[in-house]
């Protein structure tokens, strides 16, 4: 008697054909759930990777097969337990998610040339963003400040819609000061960081130096960025955007 082809095995086979890893957002697209008989296939996929010992979590929303753990970690240059390797990967991971969200929103996406070889999964950021050359939208002094921002979304008029700084462990005040220098643009300014840094953000943004600007700077946790990415991936699969 043939062994039943389970949903878990289907997810395993999908990951095997995708290099042994995938974001949940990608799994929502890659796994063929048409025969699953559920109205919530994405939740089923999430439950499978979270509960089965066949999978392990690399980052929130990023899962891999236990059978190829060493190979996958080698691909991501995080073979050791050194904090510097983990921080480098984490920074590139969230830069990449912000780029992917921007692309789904039809923005031109920019990352600094100095970050072009930083990886989102296996791909250097230069391969997934629109440009590493800052568009000519400001005078030289402001352009010099803007060109080091971690991610910028530009609208169809090549004006900045949103500035993002990923702050895993570095000084949040430096990024807010940079944003302050760019405040004359009608843009959003967003600090992206672990949730446990929210108190530090609140302390910095409440300083007198930023009192006329603080309402324009927002904090977005890693979890919030990931949730938006996954929701947009799911929406593209199910219905698309209008």
Rounded Cα distance between 181 and 112, Å, is 18
Q: What is the mean pLDDT of residues 223-234?
A: 92
Same domain assignment for residues 11 and 28: yes
> pLDDT at position 183, please?
95
**Three-class SS of residue 228?**
helix
Same domain assignment for residues 142 and 198: yes
How many domains does the chain contain in total? 2
- What tens digit of pLDDT does each residue of 136-170 get? 999 999 999 999 999 999 999 999 999 999 999 88
Residue 189 lies in a domain: yes
> pLDDT at position 241, please?
44
Nearest to 46 by CA among 24, 68, 26, 30: 24
> pLDDT at position 242, please?
41
Residue 235 lies in a domain: no
Enumerate the β-bridge partners of residue 153: 109, 162
Band (233; pLDDT cuts 50, 70, 90): confident
Band (238; pLDDT cuts 50, 70, 90): low
CATH code for position 69: 1.10.10.10
Same domain assignment for residues 46 and 143: no
How many other C-beta atoms are found inside a 10 Å radius of the C-beta of residue 238? 10
Same domain assignment for residues 59 and 110: no
Residue 198 lies in a domain: yes
State the pTM of this model.
0.90
Same domain assignment for residues 39 and 104: no
| CA 224 and chain centroid, separation | 10
Alpha helices, H only, the chain: 7-16, 24-30, 41-51, 69-75, 83-104, 140-146, 172-181, 198-205, 222-238
Residue 183 lies in a domain: yes
Same domain assignment for residues 115 and 194: yes
Cα angle value 51/230/175 (rounded, 5°) = 115
Rounded Cα distance between 181 and 144, Å, is 11
Same domain assignment for residues 62 and 108: no
Q: Choose the final residue of a domain: 75, 110, 129.
A: 75
Burial class of residue 145 in the structure, from the number of CB atoms within 10 Å of its CB (0-12 exposed, 13-18 middle, 19+ buried): middle
Mean pLDDT of the chain: 92
Q: What is the mean pLDDT of residues 29-42?
A: 90
Same domain assignment for residues 66 and 109: no
Q: Is the pLDDT of residue 1 over 60?
A: no
Q: Is the pLDDT of residue 214 over 70?
A: yes
Q: Choose the final residue of a domain: 75, 91, 124.
A: 75
Residue 170 belongs to domain spanning: 83-230
Same domain assignment for residues 13 and 102: no
Q: Is the pLDDT of residue 81 over 90?
A: no
Same domain assignment for residues 59 and 175: no
Q: What is the mean pLDDT of residues 62-89?
A: 86
Same domain assignment for residues 168 and 94: yes
Same domain assignment for residues 151 and 179: yes
Band (236; pLDDT cuts 50, 70, 90): confident
- Are 193 and 225 spatial neighbours (Cβ–Cβ below 8 Å)? no
């Amino acid at each position: 008697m043939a062994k039943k082809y389970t949903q878990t095995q289907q997810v395993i086979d999908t990951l095997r054909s995708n290099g042994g890893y995938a974001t949940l957002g990608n799994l929502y697209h890659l796994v063929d759930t048409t025969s699953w008989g559920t109205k919530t296939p994405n939740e089923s996929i999430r439950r499978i990777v979270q509960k089965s010992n066949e999978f392990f979590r690399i980052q929130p929303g990023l899962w891999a097969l236990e059978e190829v753990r060493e190979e996958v970690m080698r691909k991501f240059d995080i073979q050791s337990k050194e904090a510097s390797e983990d921080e480098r990967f984490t920074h590139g991971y969230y830069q990449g998610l912000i780029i992917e969200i921007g692309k789904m929103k039809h923005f031109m996406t920019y990352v600094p040339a100095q970050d072009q070889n930083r990886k989102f999964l296996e791909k250097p950021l230069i391969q997934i963003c629109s440009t590493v050359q800052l568009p000519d939208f400001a005078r030289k002094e402001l352009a010099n400040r803007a060109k080091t921002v971690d991610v910028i979304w530009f609208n169809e008029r090549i004006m900045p819609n949103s500035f993002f700084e990923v702050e895993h462990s570095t000084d949040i005040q430096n990024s807010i000061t940079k944003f302050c220098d760019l405040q004359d643009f009608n843009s959003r300014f967003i600090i992206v960081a672990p949730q446990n840094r929210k108190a530090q953000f609140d302390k910095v943004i409440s300083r007198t130096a930023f009192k006329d600007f603080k309402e324009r700077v927002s904090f977005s946790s890693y979890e919030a960025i990931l949730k938006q990415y996954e929701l947009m991936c799911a929406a593209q699969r199910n219905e698309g955007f209008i």
